Amino acid sequence: MIAMRFRESDYVAIKKKAEKVNMNFTEFVTAAAMNKPITVINGLSDVLKEQKAIGRNINQLTTLCNMGKIVCPDLQELKQQYAEVLTTLNEIVGRCG
């Protein structure tokens, strides 16, 4: 462990930047000092949440099929949702590149 001193105004500014990129103060300062890229991807958490929901739906349908409770479910809605997620991910990747 190494102690460092900061002006309070600098500490507050660095802490705000760290919070903005979902890092703690130490992680942010270390990454910045090591010239590591710090990337903020707005909207990614919403897309990942939607993708997880689609995955849960597919798992539930698979379980019901394996139990013999449903046969050949209509996956059009899931296909559409997944297409929307992929479109959003491509837009996010486009902003980052």
Per-residue pLDDT tens digits for 45-82: 888 888 899 889 889 988 999 999 988 778 888 889 88
What confidence tier does 97 reach under pLDDT thresholds 50, 70, 90? low
> C-alpha angle with apex 37: 35 to 39, nearest 5 degrees?
150
Residue pair 17/28 in contact (Cβ under 8 Å)? The answer is: yes
Looking at residue 12, its pLDDT comes to 96
Q: What's the pTM value of the predicted model, to 2 decimals? A: 0.54
Residue pair 28/18 in contact (Cβ under 8 Å)? The answer is: yes
Q: Which helix (H) or strand (E) holds 55?
A: helix 44-67
